[in-house]
Amino acid sequence: MLEVRNIESGYGRTKVLHGVSFSVSDGALVAVLGGNGSGKSTTLKTLAGLVRPSAGEITLAGQRIDQVPACRMASSGLVLVPQGKEVFAAMSVEENILMGGYHRRREKARLRDDLQQVYALFPRLALRRKALAGLLSGGERQMLAIGRALLARPRMLLLDEPSSALAPKVVGEIAEVIRGLRGRGISILLVEQNVAMALELADELHILREGRVAHSCVNGPGVDLASLQEFYLGKGTR
């Protein structure tokens, strides 16, 4: 279980998150929605240790992780797939995937198995294993970024807008992969602006507005785009 309690965080003197709280149960898929600049990426960066919270607590399986340096976070089981499909452009697809398992580099046989699993999940990456990552399409780069994260064997995967700037068919493929990962027992925190995708995949939804959780709900009948709209637009309150 990931628990986020009242985190405040930002950049220098600029505070972006003003007391954000939510949790992700083991094996659950929780979505965080919100408009541009609402603090979604800052939330994920804070969880991943890239931005230090100035207040609040973050625990994973009961252990505090808010002081763990970003470079050790993967060993704690929490892995971020950053926004923007960032990959190492000058390295091959396979080298990029293997970078995700760098902290496990002594487990050579298991890494080879995990690499094959990534290729089974994303056959297109297998076809392009020797290609430079910088030459991949947007969809392929998103698959690569997810594949690289899987080499760390995460128990908690943070996905920052995996559907952005992708064709609907590719969004569908990515959604299927996310559903499959969740089926394998990986807990997922999905940040999205694609509300339809979040409604299709998530157990729970939280809407961020100006660095605060404006609304939280369990996904189910009656929860739809229209019912969430007011919280986006600022009319609703928690």
Ligand X SMILES: Nc1ncnc2c1ncn2[C@@H]1O[C@H](COP(=O)(O)OP(=O)(O)OP(=O)(O)O)[C@@H](O)[C@H]1O
Q: Which residues bind Mg ion (CB under 5 A)?
A: 40-41, 83
For 167-233, the DSSP string reads -HHHHHHHHHHHHHHHHTT-EEEEEES-HHHHHHH-SEEEEEETTEEEEEEE-STT--HHHHHHHHH
Residue of 19, 37, 123, 234 interacting with ligand X (CB under 6 A): 37
Number of residues that bind ligand X (CB under 6 A): 13
Out of ligand X, Mg ion, none, what residue 101 binds, judged by CB under 5 to 8 A for its kind, is: none
Helix axes 108-121, 138-150, angle to 10 degrees: 150
Q: Which is nearer to ligand X, 119 or 231 (CB)?
A: 231
Beta bridge mates, 30: 189, 204
Contacts of 72 (CB under 8 A, 6+ apart): 49
Binding mask 65-94 for ligand X (x = CB under 6 A): ------------------x-----------
Q: Which is nearer to Mg ion, 40 or 182 (CB)?
A: 40
Residue of 13, 36, 169, 221 interacting with ligand X (CB under 6 A): 36
- Assess contact for 111 and 160: CB atoms under 8 A: no
206 binds ligand X (CB under 6 A): no
Residues that bind ligand X (CB under 6 A): 11, 14, 16, 34, 36-42, 83, 193
